[in-house]
Amino acid sequence: MASVARARQFGERGLHAVATRDRELLREFLEQDRLYAAYALCDLDDREFGKTRWGVAWRGHRAIAVALQYTGLSPQPLFVMGEPEGIVSILRDVIKPRLAYLAALPTQLSEIAQVYHVEPGPEMVRMAVDRATFRPYLGAPARLVPSEIRDLNRLYNLGLTSWLPAETISNGVYYGVRSNGLLVAAAGTHVVSHTARLGVVGNVLTHHEYRGRGFAKMVTSAVTGELLRTCDQVVLNVRADNPPALAAYRALGYREHTRFEERLAHRRLGRWDSIVSPLRRLFPTTRSPE
């Protein structure tokens, strides 16, 4: 294991951070809290791993923190876990997106603020369900197929800004409800891991004219039930200031696991950048020293 060898090499130097592609190491660390780390564990699967960058912080021979940057999106999702001092070491030296959508525990934010300016935002609740607690909601939503991606994007365009490719449906689990042929509610998955036996529900949305009829609960129940055929646990995120959604998910058997922050984070500029950044807007050819 290259990461362990590197840790031994620098063991006498105390805290340090390095990049890693050691999935065994990462999985072992993330499994300390698999429900909080569900997205990251799913991203260790082959389908997602190539889109990720990872850093690990060591104190001597012991891993104390991990950070995951999911590339290709903007702002780039950034997940951190572990001791705040280790997280800062990774973000300072290894994982360094200029703009990120940060997922972190509230106790980590004050340390992270050394490296990133974190914008204010609502507290998030990570909820989880398993076969023992799941309570299905009656209804007959239909499993969506890739050819329905246009209808799905038309629905999401009412409340979301990004458009999804057909592979989103073929690689995940999506259910919807139609009224007079129009797709008026849907729920799906963000990511699923057969290795970790975890699924993440997301993209739950009901057309505003059809809310209050239980459609969101119905499609979420259908997605959850399908995932629990092969997953040991299913998780989802909901804003802490959304009591109706919290109540709906609790009615399906979801229980609160932890509260965390999802915030837009801007990397703090170094002294040189603080000088030349205004000039870059005026003189695009201005370059920082290599």
List pLDDT tens digits, range 97-116: 999 999 999 999 999 999 99
For the segment 121-150, the average pLDDT, to the nearest whole number, is 96
In the chain, what percentage of residues exceed pLDDT 70?
Answer: 87
β-strand partners of 279:
none
Question: What is the pLDDT, as a whole number, of residue 163?
Answer: 76
Closest CA to 242 of 121, 125, 120, 160: 125
CA 143 to chain centre: 24
Q: How confident is the model at residue 158 (pLDDT cuts 50, 70, 90)?
A: low
Bridge-partner residues for 40, per DSSP?
A: none
pTM for the structure as a whole? 0.86
| pLDDT band per the 50, 70, 90 thresholds, residue 288 | very low
Find out whether 149 and 168 touch, Cβ atoms under 8 Å: yes
Note the pLDDT of residue 271: 55
Confidence (pLDDT) at 275: 47
The model's pLDDT over 217-252, given as tens digits with 9 standing for 90+, comes to 999 999 999 999 999 999 999 999 999 999 999 999
Q: List the domains of the chain with CATH numbers.
A: 2-125+263-269 (3.40.630), 134-253 (3.40.630.30)
* Range 155-161 contact pairs with CB under 8 angstroms and sequence separation of 24 or more: 155/183, 155/184, 155/185, 155/186, 155/205, 155/207, 156/186, 156/203, 156/205, 158/205, 158/207, 158/208, 159/205, 160/203, 160/205
Angle between helical axes of 215-227 and 243-251 (0-180°, round to 10): 50
What is the rounded CA–CA span in Å between residue 152 and residue 182? 10
Task: Quote the pLDDT of residue 287.
Answer: 33
Residue 281, pLDDT > 80, answer no
- Which DSSP helix (H) or strand (E) runs through 185? strand 182-193
The confidence score (pLDDT) of residue 219 equals 98
